[in-house]
Chains A and B, each alone.
Chain A
Amino acid sequence: MALLAFWAFTASAGMVSAPGLTAATAAAAPVIDGRIAEGEYASHYVARGIGMELHWTIEGDSIYIGLRAPTTGWLAIGWDPSGPIMEGEDILIGYIRGKELYLQDYFANTSVTHANDVSLGGRDDVLESSGSEDQESTTIEFRRRLDTGDKFDRPITRASHTVQLAYAPNDDFVTYHGEKRTVVKINFFEGGAQEAGLFARPRSREAWGGLGSWMLTVATGVVLIIGLTAAYLLWPRRDQMPDQS
């Protein structure tokens, strides 16, 4: 417990990361109150590069997650992309405006965009949530099931997961995070954590081949519009051509 308290202290101070540490068990399920107390969660990871903290506890069929980042805008966690960057990733993103928490269950429908699960035909599977904000940081806590059954969610299993943490300075779900993003491999059950580099799965060289076809398509469309219009206007019909003299 002393070791856990030490890591909790370093996490709250934003000093070091804690790769590989955890697997400890919290005395009780965390309280979803928008505050992350020392030792409240069984495990945690500090993304040293961006100064963001991730805390979690697995209790029964649920996972409790606490996020804290040095921002007053949105913060997010996502896991298990199936394509390049964040495509196919299960995302929880939220921000505090006034005293109110806006937390939504999202799904990365493309490599760089995400949409609310509900808008895609899924469900919002956050069971409880709370958050707080001061002048320098935002804290968000929530609980959801390990396996929600929603096709726009990714189940948390005993395997290692590719987890992305990010935040941005604005209270919305859109502003680009810029460099405030990191990717880490985490085993939520055993607690191992390892930095995985910025891009979870870089786009393969073959995939970029489509860009040439796309450029040709754009050029074809533009030439078609210009060609048809110009041909129509140039085609002489003496009874209808305007006198340009």
Chain B
Amino acid sequence: MPPETGKIAWHLITAELHTGMLTLAFASAIIRLVGIHVTADQPVWRGLVRLAEPTAYLAAIGGLLALIASIITGFTYTWPLEVQLTSSVVLNKIAITAFSTTFWLLFLVTRTVYGPRLWDHARLRWAYAALATGGFLTLMLAGSTGGHLAGKRSMLDGILHALGVNTHLLFTLSTAAAYAILIASVSLLAAAAIRRLIWGRGQARRAT
């Protein structure tokens, strides 16, 4: 056997690893969120909720690292780049993986910046849970696309077909739509930053 042929196993290992760890991170974040509203006296539930917070954070760190490793091994150990970029399924998978990586990166940044206190603030915890949900859903979609690349079917096929989503067709936005979304996103971000700045100055003036 040529030495390079066994290397595809690294992609399979890292893919399984990041899927497992990020699913754990998502489940832990949801358990922690539910734990705020469901305050049962059962010690098992209370212990689960208590452990869910650090578990979500640590699993997300490990999962994101494995996800990055999976991206690298996917590019280098599966098919030649020329072949990958010819396949609409591969391009869709790369796009979905990029979205998933962004969600999980923001998940970690949010937790790192605000710390475990973010659970004390409704808007932060909902944002945190939303990021985990976005990351998890895109992760499932990327996994489903990967199933097709491996020549198998996916459990999500029925749902995707019902929604009219065909992961075999290259998904692209029109240039006009892409620019409109880009401008809207940047404008919204700038508006939030300016408003934050004005609010901060107002707070400082009141303090003095």
A84–B170 CA distance with the chains assembled, in angstroms: 15
Find residues 78-95 in chain B having any chain A CB closer than 8 Å to their own CB. Answer: 78-79, 83-91, 94-95
Contact partner, A225, options B8, B124, B134, B186, Cβ 8 Å? B134
10 contacts between A and B (CB under 8 A): A115-B153, A168-B5, A175-B8, A210-B170, A223-B185, A225-B106, A227-B189, A229-B110, A231-B191, A242-B121
Interface residues on B, range: 35 or more
Closest 8 CB pairs of A and B: A227-B185, A236-B199, A231-B192, A213-B172, A234-B192, A112-B87, A220-B178, A169-B1
For window 103-161 of A, CB contacts with B under 8 Å fall at 106, 109-116, 119
Contacts of B79 in A (CB 8 A): 112, 176
Given A227-B185, A236-B195, also A213-B151 (CB < 8 A):
no
> Count of chain A residues with Cβ under 8 Å from any Cβ of B?
52
Q: How far is the CB of B172 from chain A (nearest CB, A)?
A: 4
B182 in contact with A110 (CB, 8 Å): no
Question: Which residues of chain B from 1 to 50 have any CB-CB distance to chain A below 8 Å in the complex?
Answer: 1-2, 4-5, 8
Minimum CB–CB distance for A179 against chain B, Å: 10
Asked if A45 CB lies within 8 Å of chain B CBs, one says no
Contacts of A37 in B (CB 8 A): none
Chain A positions within 8 Å of B94 at CB level: 218
With A214-B172, A224-B185 known as contacts, the answer to whether A112 contacts B90 (CB < 8 A) is yes
The reply to whether A213 and B175 form a contact with Cβ atoms under 8 Å apart is yes
Contact A233 B110 (CB under 8 A): yes
Decide if A13 is an interface residue (CB 8 Å cutoff). no
Q: Scan A79-117; emit 1 where CB is below 8 A from any B CB, else 0.
A: 000001100000000000000000000100111111110
Interface check A216, CB cutoff 8 A: yes
CB contacts under 8 Å to B, within A204-226, are 210-211, 213-214, 216-226
B114 engages A217 (CB within 8 Å):
no
CA–CA, A112 and B178, complex, Å: 28
